[in-house]
Amino acid sequence: MGRLLDALRNDPRASGVEVTNDGFVLSGSGEAFDELAREALENAGKDFVALPTSDGGVGYSRVVIITI
């Protein structure tokens, strides 16, 4: 994995990280996690795809990261 993917996976703003066959899933809540989710979305493209899940309110609850 590249530096950005490692940084996302180890970021303390995510309260949970689940490793999958194709990447990993970040979970969390609050403004800090929302910021992390937006960073993942903004940097997705060449190395990975980021698929966010909303918590039903105004924030994110999970981001699925699939490596390419």
pLDDT of residue 1: 59
This prediction's pTM: 0.90
- The residue extents of the domains of the chain are 3-67
- Cβ proximity of 3 and 14 under 8 Å: no
14-63 residue pLDDT tens? 999 999 999 999 999 999 999 999 999 999 998 999 999 986 778 999 99
- Cβ proximity of 37 and 52 under 8 Å: yes
pLDDT at 10 over 90: yes
Q: Which residues contact 19 (CB under 8 A, 6 or more apart)?
A: none
3-state secondary structure the chain: CCHHHHHHHCCCCCCEEEEECCEEEEECCHHHHHHHHHHHHHHCCCCEEEEEEECCCCCEEEEEEEEC
